[in-house]
A and B are shown apart, each in its own frame.
Chain A
Amino acid sequence: AQKITQTQPGMFVQEKEAVTLDCTYDTSDPSYGLFWYKQPSSGEMIFLIYQGSYDQQNATEGRYSLNFQKARKSANLVISASQLGDSAMYFCAMREGPSNTGNQFYFGTGTSLTVIP
């Protein structure tokens, strides 16, 4: 089974609108971390936002927020007020297990977001 599933290969959003990128995960470990990264065409992975499995509130970082639904094992990324510079690939990732044990990270296949002027 896939550890991280991103079912939207491509998404389009109008500039200044909000968009939700879906991510579901699979783990039986009670301790894990969920991450979203942005990868522009230049190739560098840029960290956006983090959600820990024990965090009570949804994470927010500026225009990014993570809609964490633990029972559904989903961690959707919401980008508000989209900008042209948001056009990129977006990857959801999971660290399985406690952070101090150095477990490997699992990445999804990504969603390509295009912001339309």
Chain B
Amino acid sequence: DTGVSQNPRHKITKRGQNVTFRCDPISEHNRLYWYRQTLGQGPEFLTYFQNEAQLEKSRLLSDRFSAERPKGSFSTLEIQRTEQGDSAMYLCASSLTRVQETQYFGPGTRLLVL
């Protein structure tokens, strides 16, 4: 399977704990995006990387959130001191810089904070 993969698919945690999600993009894609999606809404942009550089962060990304893409391949999204409002689906997408720049999405990680 050469699509975008995300792990874990589901995560249940207690409020105040830290969680980390991983995204493996399509291998030749140089751009990687993180989104958050809550029930009944479309994905909301969080941040994106071009290779290993984090080029843009949304206001939604509070200081409890941090993302890395150390070698320009896989990326991690960490949420520290989780809150119940962090419960959502976290989607990763990747794209290749070209005319169209279609983003291809992974299956998402569903986070539930109790």
Contacts and interface: CB of A to CB of B under 8 A. Distances in A.
Q: Do A and B bind each other?
A: yes
Interface residues of B, number: 30
A55 B98 CA distance: 15
Nearest to A108: B42
Nearest to B45: A104
Given A44-B105, A44-B108, A110-B42, A104 B100 contact: no
Contacts of B56: 102, 104
Interface residues of A, number: 25
B40 A109 contact: yes
In this complex, which of B50, B101, B108 has the most chain A Cβ atoms within 10 angstroms of its Cβ?
B101
Interface of A is mostly: strand
Interface of B: 31, 33, 35, 40-45, 48, 50, 55-56, 58, 89, 91, 93, 97-108, 110
